[in-house]
């Protein structure tokens, strides 16, 4: 059966920072949205955090109270996948970045969701071809990669694998637009897709300049902002993304390419080992007040 664009129910797998924000974005766009996670505690935390987030948006005047209330009415949180998957028209998987876990999820989704449902992964490092066969409907599988923070970032990378149907691509692009995002289509799987490859190239050069004593970290960041008009410098961006995430992306890229040039940077790895993960931990390249 061909995928359809006339759907109303979205299922998000994973109640972490990405999954919960994707779900809220879908609910704000008017979709009935279920959030599934194996951890009931994580689901409770996600629901509380989303209420806190929308309350802040309402207080700042960025969101009407009525819109926030309607969005929360559209949201459902469930630890029982069998209770929510049969009603999903479109699934966005945002679980942990471990291939075997994702394969198991897509196998269950293939069994539990309606035949027309599209199954997308939000992964920034694992191409959908790695999980497509497990679903039993590889032509209806693709990457739909959002960026953190989802409620703010406009871009969504839609990545097709060799077997993704054009109908699946078109539907996913259309959904991204309905969610208020601007999709970019990536026609071939490459490690890191587009955004992470561009970010990685800039970070690699910034790290080399710092290691070589060419310029200080703060001056490299200042140059990126003032000369290139970037909203933040590469070291500031690494801290925002999370140095553990930066290292994970580098590890995944190196595993895929085997190119020594893609090896994770030791200075980043050292910060991660020290528990300095960036803004979320209070320290990374810079120090922050939590």
145 tagged catalytic: yes
Residues of the chain with pLDDT under 50: 1-4
pLDDT at 5: 57
Segment 96-113, tens digit of pLDDT: 989 999 999 999 999 999
pLDDT at 1: 39
Residue 209 in any domain: the answer is: yes
Question: Are residues 224 and 157 part of one domain?
Answer: no
Question: Are residues 229 and 85 part of one domain?
Answer: no
pLDDT at 148: 87
Among 186, 217, 251, give the residue marking a domain's end.
Answer: 186
Question: Are residues 272 and 225 part of one domain?
Answer: yes
Q: Are 254 and 269 in contact (CB under 8 A)?
A: no
Q: Are 67 and 28 in contact (CB under 8 A)?
A: yes
20, 143, 196, 281: which one is catalytic? 196
Residue 290 in any domain: the answer is: no
Residue 288 in any domain: the answer is: no
pLDDT at 27: 98
Question: Are residues 46 and 112 part of one domain?
Answer: yes
36, 128, 145, 161: which one is catalytic? 145
Among 186, 211, 236, give the residue marking a domain's end.
Answer: 186
290 is written with which tokens? 């939590």
Q: What is the CATH number of the domain that holds 245?
A: 1.10.1040.10
Question: Are residues 221 and 99 part of one domain?
Answer: no
Residue 16 in any domain: the answer is: yes
Question: Are residues 202 and 176 part of one domain?
Answer: no
pTM of the model: 0.90
135 tagged catalytic: no
In order, the DSSP letters of the chain are: ----S---EEEEE--SHHHHHHHHHHHHTT-EEEEE-S-HHHHHHHHHHHHHHHHHHHHTTSS-HHHHHHHHHHEEEES-HHHHGGG-SEEEE---S-HHHHHHHHHHHHHHS-TT-EEEE--SSS-THHHHHHHT-GGGEEEEE--SSTTT--EEEEE--TT--HHHHHHHHHHHHHTT-EEEEE-S--TTTTHHHHHHHHHHHHHHHHHTTSS-HHHHHHHHHHTS--SS-HHHHHHHH-HHHHHHHHHHHHHHH--GGGSPPHHHHHHHHTT--BGGGTBSSSB---
161 tagged catalytic: no
Question: Are residues 178 and 129 part of one domain?
Answer: yes
Question: Are residues 129 and 64 part of one domain?
Answer: yes
157, 189, 236, 247: which one is catalytic? 157
Question: Are residues 110 and 249 part of one domain?
Answer: no
Question: Are residues 205 and 106 part of one domain?
Answer: no
Number of domains in the chain: 2
157 tagged catalytic: yes
pLDDT at 253: 87
Segment 142-195, tens digit of pLDDT: 999 999 889 999 999 999 999 999 999 999 999 999 999 999 999 999 988 999
Separation between Cα atoms, residue 246 and residue 254, nearest integer Å = 12
pLDDT at 267: 97
Domain coverage including residue 232 = 196-281
pLDDT at 214: 98
20, 122, 123, 124: which one is catalytic? 124
Q: Which residue has the tokens 């690699």?
A: 204
Among 186, 216, 247, give the residue marking a domain's end.
Answer: 186
Residue 191 in any domain: the answer is: no
Question: Are residues 255 and 154 part of one domain?
Answer: no
pLDDT at 201: 93
pLDDT at 4: 46
Q: What is the CATH number of the domain that holds 78?
A: 3.40.50.720
Question: Are residues 125 and 221 part of one domain?
Answer: no
């Amino acid at each position: 059966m061909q995928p359809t664009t006339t759907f109303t129910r979205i299922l998000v797998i994973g109640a972490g920072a990405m999954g919960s924000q994707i779900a809220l974005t879908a609910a704000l766009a008017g979709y009935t949205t279920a959030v599934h996670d194996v951890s009931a505690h994580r689901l409770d935390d996600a629901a509380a955090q989303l209420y806190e987030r929308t309350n802040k948006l309402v207080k700042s005047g960025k969101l009407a109270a009525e819109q926030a209330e309607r969005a929360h009415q559209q949201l459902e949180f469930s630890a029982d996948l069998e209770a929510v998957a049969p009603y999903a028209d479109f699934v966005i998987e945002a679980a942990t970045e471990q291939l075997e876990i994702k394969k198991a999820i897509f196998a269950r989704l293939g069994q539990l969701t309606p035949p027309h449902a599209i199954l997308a992964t939000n992964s920034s490092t694992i191409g959908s071809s790695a999980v497509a066969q497990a679903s039993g409907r590889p032509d209806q599988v693709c990457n739909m990669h959002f960026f953190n923070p989802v409620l703010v970032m406009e871009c969504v990378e839609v990545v097709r694998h060799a077997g993704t149907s054009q109908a699946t691509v078109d539907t996913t692009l259309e959904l991204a637009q309905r969610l208020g995002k601007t999709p970019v289509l990536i026609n071939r799987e490459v490690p890191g897709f587009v955004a992470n490859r561009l970010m990685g190239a800039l970070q690699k050069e910034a790290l080399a300049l710092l290691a070589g004593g060419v310029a200080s970290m703060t001056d490299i960041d200042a140059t990126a902002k003032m000369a290139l008009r970037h909203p933040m410098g590469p070291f500031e961006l690494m801290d925002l993304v999370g140095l553990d995430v930066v290292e994970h992306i580098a590890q995944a890229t190196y595993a895929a390419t085997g190119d020594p040039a893609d090896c994770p940077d030791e200075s980043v790895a050292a910060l991660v080992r020290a528990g300095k993960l960036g803004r979320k931990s209070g320290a990374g390249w810079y120090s922050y007040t939590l």
